[in-house]
C-alpha cells in the first residue's frame, strides 16, 4: 500500500499535470481567501499562492525546475495577457488624448525615480554591483527587467525576484500611501501603481476600479519601454556620481 502510494507520487511528481493543477487550485484558494478578507492588500492572491507553493515544494522536496515544467503552461499566457492590455488602454483613448503631456512627464519622472531610488538605496546599504544592476529595472515588468538587468551585468533571475518583491510590496503599500497623500483621482492612483508595481499592481487595480486599471495598464506598458530606453542613461549618471564603477 505504502509502496504503491509512493509509486503514484513518483509518477505524478514528474508529470506536468500535477503542478499545473496544483497552481490553479492554490490560486483559487488564494482568491477565495482574498475575497473573504474583503480584498485585503496583505492577502493579494499572488502573495498567498506563492508562499503556499514554496511551502509545498520545500516540504515535498520538489526542485523548482520540476515544478516549472508543469507551471510553464500558465506562465506562457503572460505574453497574450500583455497583448490584451491594449483593450483597457483603448477604452481610455478619449481621456488620453487630453492628457498626453501630463502622462508623459509623470512617466519620465516615475521611471527615473524608480531606477535611481532602487540603486541608490542598495548602494548606500552596501549592496554588490550585481545586486545593484539586478535591482535597477525592478519596476518594469518581468521580461523587460530580466533582459535589461542581464545587459547591464546583473543576474536575470535575481532581477525577477526584485520585480516580484517590488510588485507585491508596492501593491500592498499603494492604498494606504496614496490615501495618506490624499490622491483621490483613480487615474492618478492607477498610473502611480502601474509605474511602481507593474503587472502585479495592474492586476489588483483592474480588480478595484476600471479607470484605475486602465491607467495602471497604460503606465506599466509605457514604463517597460521607458525603463529599457532610460537604463543606459541612468547608469551613465550613476557612473558620473561614482556609485557604479
Partner 1 sequence: MIYAIATLFVFQLIGEVAVQALGLPLPGPLVGMLLLFVALLLYGRVPDALSRTTGTLLQHMMLLFIPAVTGVMMHFGRVASEWQPFLAACVGGAAVTLVVTAFTLRWMLRLQKKQTP
Angle between helices 210-241 and 142-151 (to 10 degrees): 10
CB of 10 to partner 1, least distance (A): 22
Inter-residue contact 71 to 20 (CB < 8 Å): yes
Examine residue 43 and tell whether it contacts partner 1 (CB under 8 A). no
- Closest CB to partner 1 among residues 8, 28: 28
Write each residue from 147 to 166 as x if it is in contact with partner 1 (CB under 8 A), else as -, in one continuous string.
xx--x---x-xx-xxx-xxx
The yes or no reply on residue 39 touching partner 1 (CB under 8 A) is no
**Any contact of residue 84 with partner 1 (CB under 8 A)?**
yes
Count the residues of the shown chain that bind partner 1, applying the rule CB under 8 A. Answer: 112
Stretch that binds partner 1, among 9-17, 35-43, 46-54, 234-242 (CB under 8 A): 46-54
The smaller minimum CB distance to partner 1, of residues 158 and 237, is found at: 158
Task: State the minimum distance, in angstroms, from the CB of residue 203 to partner 1.
Answer: 4
Which residues, numbered 91-150, are part of the site for partner 1 (CB under 8 A)? 91, 93, 99, 101-103, 105-106, 109-110, 113-114, 117-119, 121-128, 131, 135, 138-139, 141-144, 147-148
- The answer to whether 42 contacts partner 1 (rule: CB under 8 A) is no
* Residue 45 binds to partner 1 (criterion: CB under 8 A): yes
Which C-beta is closer to partner 1: that of 8 or that of 109?
109
Q: Which residues inside 220-239 make contact with partner 1, applying CB under 8 A? A: 221, 224-225, 228-229
Amino acid at each position: 500500500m505504502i509502496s504503491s502510494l509512493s509509486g503514484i507520487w513518483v509518477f505524478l511528481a514528474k508529470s506536468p499535470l500535477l503542478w499545473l493543477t496544483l497552481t490553479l487550485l492554490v490560486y483559487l484558494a488564494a482568491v477565495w481567501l482574498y475575497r473573504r478578507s474583503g480584498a485585503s492588500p496583505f492577502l493579494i492572491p499572488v502573495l498567498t499562492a506563492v508562499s503556499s507553493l514554496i511551502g509545498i515544494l520545500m516540504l515535498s522536496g520538489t526542485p523548482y525546475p520540476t515544478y516549472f515544467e508543469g507551471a510553464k503552461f500558465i506562465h506562457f499566457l503572460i505574453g497574450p495577457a500583455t497583448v490584451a492590455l491594449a483593450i483597457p488602454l483603448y477604452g481610455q483613448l478619449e481621456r488620453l488624448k487630453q492628457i498626453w503631456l501630463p502622462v508623459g512627464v509623470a512617466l519620465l519622472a516615475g521611471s527615473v525615480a524608480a531606477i535611481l531610488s532602487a540603486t541608490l538605496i542598495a548602494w548606500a546599504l552596501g549592496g554588490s554591483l550585481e545586486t545593484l544592476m539586478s535591482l535597477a529595472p525592478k519596476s518594469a515588468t518581468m521580461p523587460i527587467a530580466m533582459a535589461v538587468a542581464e545587459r547591464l551585468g546583473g543576474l536575470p533571475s535575481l532581477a525577477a525576484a526584485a520585480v516580484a518583491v517590488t510588485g507585491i510590496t508596492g501593491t500592498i503599500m499603494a492604498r494606504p500611501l496614496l490615501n495618506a497623500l490624499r490622491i483621490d483621482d483613480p487615474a492618478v492612483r492607477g498610473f502611480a501603481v502601474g509605474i511602481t508595481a507593474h503587472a502585479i499592481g495592474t492586476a489588483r487595480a483592474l480588480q478595484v476600479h476600471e479607470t484605475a486599471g486602465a491607467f495602471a495598464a497604460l503606465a506599466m506598458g509605457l514604463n517597460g519601454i521607458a525603463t529599457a530606453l532610460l537604463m543606459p542613461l541612468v547608469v551613465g549618471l550613476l557612473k558620473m556620481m561614482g556609485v557604479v564603477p
